[in-house]
Structure 1
Amino acid sequence: MRVLIFTNTPAHVHTYRNAIDRLVERGHEVLVLAREYGCTTDLLDFFGITYRVYGSHEATAYSRLEFASELTGQLAAIALEARRFRPDVLFGRGPYAAFSGVVTAAPTVLILDDEPGDFNHTVSRPFADAIITPHVTRRDLGSNHYTFDGFKECAYLHPEVYEPIPDIRDRLGVADDEQYAIARFNAFDALHDVGAVGFSLSQRRDLLESLAEEATVFVSDEAGTMDFRDLPAREYDLHPALLHDAIREAHLLVADTGTIVTEAGLLGTPAIRYGGTEDREFGEFAALEDAGLIEDCDRYERVKARSLEILQDKRIRTRRRERRDAYVSGLVNLTDLIVDVAEARGDVDRVVSRTGGRAQATRVPNQ
């Protein structure tokens, strides 16, 4: 069987990497079409995944017109690769996967997170044979919409698939008893980020200076433009594939981007998300906040105050880890579901029937 998988961002690599390994081990042919964006291809190389690049995307703010121009050229390259490969089923999201499904007539499976109103959902949904989302998704996406009890990050952070490396502190250069925090700053360069704003430059500086009074501070700057020469912080400079291990050992993660906050929550690390100008509601953040695993703040002063309170609480990491263990143990291993759906050629109903819906996916009733 031939499986086509799109990895347009680093997060997509993590979502599919374990499933890719398993499908290849089972004798299936897998084509990964990748976009040069951030550390996407660095991650693919690190995990030994063979891929072909269909285009690139710079980590700078784009207008909608610039996105449209970029997309046109990339779709032409995708059409050539997809037709040549002739997939039996394909996985992805957004216009890339939707277009490939049209030109190859292959069953198209979209694995989405909870992004109400996202443009990618709008343009791809009519062409999808199955849409799979976390159970916390707040809307009906049509007759082929299925949910699973978990988050897309469960494809790589579920206890059944995640194995932390033991020497991450040595690699970071911090002592066993040294408290450290990670700050993650969004590049705001994706289509759904147009018009959104997170931490301002002055807020970044103020936050890092405040955190440095309580802990060693590492910064993961998505845009890669920060100047650290007069800041009391260190750039996170390990391979990006090790970032989850660094988060797991951290005493605090604070960010103005979403995925990494979800990841921290699922790893049991105290995490704060700054919403900035974002006015949409996200089911995944609400669920994790209700579970006591993350905090979602829409005011900078609250972010700063809670960050310092967390760093001053010496037992909070133990409490969060215990809470995380109890919560995550009941979630679906998304890698299992991806592999099952791939081998069923995108027929999720067949997968549900075979497993009785147990710890897999559930069709959303038409509303």
Structure 2
Amino acid sequence: MRILVFANTPAHVHLYRHAVDRLERAGHDVLVLTREYACTTDLLEYFELPYRVYGDHRTEGYSKLGFAREVGGQFLTIGIDALRFDPDVVFGRGPYAAYAGTLSRTPIVLVLDDEPGDFNHTVSRPFADCILSPQVTRRDLGDAHYTFDGFKECAYLHPDIFEPTTDVRTYLDVDADEPYVLVRFNALDALHDADLEGFRPDQRRDLIERLSEVATVFVSDEGDELDLRALPARPYDLHPALIHDAMAEAELLVADTGTMATEAALLGTPAFRYRGTDDHEYGEFRELERAGLVEQFDTYETVRDRSLEVLADDDIAEQWEQRRREYVGDLVNLTDLLVDVAESRGTVERLDRSTKQVLRPRSRTI
């Protein structure tokens, strides 16, 4: 079989990397189409995935005509690559995957979450043969929409899959008993982040200064806007492939971004998400809050004060780990599901009985 996969962001690389590896080891041909965005190609190189770049993610500096030409060029490249590869099934999300599958007359599998990406859902839904999303997703995307108990991050952080690197503290240059915190600042440059605001610059500085009084602070600044030279913090500068190992060892993650908060929660690390101006209600976070693995905050002062409170509590780490053991182990191993769906060419009816049992037709469950 020939499987075409779209990985347009670092999160997409993690979503598919174990499935791609297993499919290749099973003798299938896999091609990942990607764009230059953040550390996406760095991760593809690190995990030795077979990929081609069709363009980059850049909106600044373009006129409307220039942007249209850039997007048109990307569609042209995608079309050529898709026709040359001649896939049996296409995995992805949004218009690129829908276009590649339609042009090559190939079944299309969309793997979605509950982000408010209505544009992506709207343009790709009519072309999909199979849509997979977490059960906590609240929208119904039609007869081809199936849900599973878990999160898209279960493709790489499920306990059956995730194997932490034991040397991450050495790489970070922190002692075995040295508490450290990961702080993640979102660049807010994705389509679904339009008009959103997270931590302000003054809040970023204050948060770092307060947290540094009780723990070593590592900062992952997606927008690369913060000058840490005058602040009591260290940049998180390990290879991006090691971020989950660093999260697993951290005392706390504080972020104004969604994916890393979900990831930390599934690893059993206290995960605090500052909403900023984002008032959208996400099904994933609502479920993780119910499980006691994520906390969300509407004001800066509350997330700062709660962070300091948690860092002063010696029992917090064991409490979160216990919640993880009780909750995450019962979730679906999404990599298993992705492999089975790929080998069935995106046709749910072809899945074996045990795999079908983990899927629920969305239209019958809301």
TM-score tier by shorter-chain length is over 0.9
Provide the residue aligned with 2:294 in structure 1.
294
Provide the residue aligned with 1:4 in structure 2.
4
Paired residue type of 1:45? E
Instruction: Name the CA distance, whole Å, in 2 between partners of 1:147 and 1:61.
Output: 40
Shift of 1:63: 9.7
Shift of 1:71: 2.6
Tell me if structure 2 keeps the 8 A contact 1:7–1:92.
yes
Provide the residue aligned with 2:353 in structure 1.
354
Provide the residue aligned with 1:312 in structure 2.
312
Change in Cα spacing, 1:290 to 1:284, as seen in structure 2 (3 Å) is same
Shift of 1:116: 3.5
Structure 1 gaps of 5+ residues are: none
Tell me if structure 1 keeps the 8 A contact 2:337–2:355.
no
Secondary structure of 1:229's counterpart equals helix
Tell me if structure 2 keeps the 8 A contact 1:61–1:189.
no
Instruction: Name the CA distance, whole Å, in 1 between partners of 2:192 and 2:289.
Output: 23
Provide the residue aligned with 2:121 in structure 1.
121
Instruction: Name the CA distance, whole Å, in 2 between partners of 1:132 and 1:109.
Output: 7
Instruction: Name the CA distance, whole Å, in 1 between partners of 2:96 and 2:64.
Output: 16
Paired residue type of 2:356? G
Q: Residues 163-178 of structure 1 correspond to what in structure 2 (within 5 A)?
A: 163-178=163-178
Provide the residue aligned with 1:41 in structure 2.
41
Shift of 1:354: 2.4
Task: Point out the more displaced range, 236-245 or 65-74.
Answer: 65-74
Secondary structure of 2:356's counterpart equals coil
Instruction: Name the CA distance, whole Å, in 1 between partners of 2:62 and 2:150.
Output: 32
Instruction: Name the CA distance, whole Å, in 1 between partners of 2:67 and 2:182.
Output: 31
Instruction: Name the CA distance, whole Å, in 2 between partners of 1:153 and 1:59.
Output: 27
Provide the residue aligned with 1:109 in structure 2.
109
Instruction: Name the CA distance, whole Å, in 2 between partners of 1:220 and 1:256.
Output: 11
Secondary structure of 1:84's counterpart equals helix
Paired residue type of 2:314? K
Secondary structure of 2:55's counterpart equals strand
Scaled by the length of structure 2, what TM-score is found?
0.96
Answer yes or no: is 1:241 the counterpart of 2:237: no
Q: Residues 152-167 of structure 1 correspond to what in structure 2 (within 5 A)?
A: 152-167=152-167
Instruction: Name the CA distance, whole Å, in 2 between partners of 1:314 and 1:73.
Output: 55
Instruction: Name the CA distance, whole Å, in 1 between partners of 2:233 and 2:272.
Output: 18
Shift of 1:287: 0.2
Tell me if structure 1 keeps the 8 A contact 2:59–2:67.
no
Provide the residue aligned with 2:50 in structure 1.
50
Paired residue type of 1:228? L
Shift of 1:68: 5.0
User: Per-residue CA shift, 1:164-196, capped at 9, x if unaligned?
Assistant: 011111110001111100000101111111111
Instruction: Name the CA distance, whole Å, in 2 between partners of 1:64 and 1:170.
Output: 48
Scaled by the length of structure 1, what TM-score is found?
0.96
Residues matched between the structures, number: 365
Shift of 1:225: 2.8
Tell me if structure 2 keeps the 8 A contact 1:60–1:188.
no
Q: Residues 1-367 of structure 1 correspond to what in structure 2 (within 5 A)?
A: 1-58=1-58, 70-116=70-116, 118-351=118-351, 354-355=353-354, 357-358=356-357, 360-365=358-363
Tell me if structure 1 keeps the 8 A contact 2:253–2:271.
yes
Secondary structure of 1:96's counterpart equals helix
**Identity of aligned pairs, percent?**
62
Paired residue type of 1:363? P
Structure 2 gaps of 5+ residues are: none
Shift of 1:123: 1.3
Change in Cα spacing, 1:298 to 1:126, as seen in structure 2 (3 Å) is same
Paired residue type of 2:107? P
Paired residue type of 2:176? D
Change in Cα spacing, 1:69 to 1:301, as seen in structure 2 (3 Å) is farther
Tell me if structure 2 keeps the 8 A contact 1:9–1:37.
yes
